[in-house]
Amino acid sequence: MLYLIGLGLSYTSDITVRGLEAIKKCDRVYLEHYTSILMAASLEELEAFYGKPVSLADREMVESGCEEILRGADKQNVAFLVVGDPFGATTHTDLVLRAKKQKMPVEVIHNASVMNAVGSCGLQLYNFGQTVSMVFFTDSWRPDSWYDKIWENRKIGLHTLVLLDIKVKEQSIENMARGRLIYEPPRYMSIAQCCEQLLEIEESRGTKAYTPDTPAVAISRLGSADQTFKSGTIEELSQYDSGEPLHSLVILGRQCHELEIVYLLEFADDKTKFQSSVTQDQEYFKPAPWVPPTEDAE
């Protein structure tokens, strides 16, 4: 059996009882180690908690060399551990498809992820639209395909969850080109950097999917003991020191319920100013009034 097991957001003990029971009977255990990190647990702590050795599975292993993970899964129990929920990334779906193609049985054990825990900032999950990912810009690569999704969400009044990039065991372009297995230090995008990139792309696009005054909420270390929320405009949050990773951001939509606003005000430095920015934003994106069609003169 191949088990895909969600670990939750932060602690070794965030795993479900069923997930832990499955690990206990596995012959090999892999931890996916590139889409997220378990903030309050080291590899050594996980191994001690499970009573088993755990192998780190980087992007290359999962996307290119997954045969190592699937090896013998039709005769042994193999666990593939994912921070959050197993289906938080499409590569995990691909792993399941490859296993099924080889007639290997698969069992998925779910857990909490940012996709549902984001509700702890006070915004209702029903009011979220498409989720987007913000990657690190480089001198030659500044992708902006996510902009259109934010624009679509904003036009129908929905909030946008922005997931911030992390770089774990990544190679520089030069080392990759030269075939040198030298990896860069881990990097985690901050709220400020995300907002700076948002503002840069809005300036270049100029269609006002959002503005510097658009209200948003920064989410830091979700699910940990020191999780933090900060409400403010995108401009204000571009100056915000969000501290240690991991981080995500929510850009508010027009359909912001009164209770959502009251909740978010608790995280604003200037409550009056934040309330004003929400009001102005809702007015800007308010749909045009319906006008009945005129009758044909004939």
Binding residues for S-adenosyl-L-methionine: 9, 85, 88, 113-114, 164, 222, 247
Residues whose CB is less than 8 angstroms from the CB of residue 189 and which lie 6 or more positions away in sequence, other chains included? 134, 136, 164, 165, 166, 245, 247
Query: Residue 83 in contact with residue 12, Cβ under 8 Å?
Result: no
- Provide the pairing of β-strand 55-57 with 160-164: unpaired
Query: Residue 206 in contact with residue 72, Cβ under 8 Å?
Result: no
Q: Residue 157, exposed/middle/buried by CB under 10 A (0-12, 13-18, 19+)? A: middle
Closest by CA position to 282, among listed 252, 249, 238, 250? 252
**Rounded CA gap, 237 and 132, in Å?**
18
Binding-site residues sit at 9, 85, 88, 113-114, 164, 222, 247
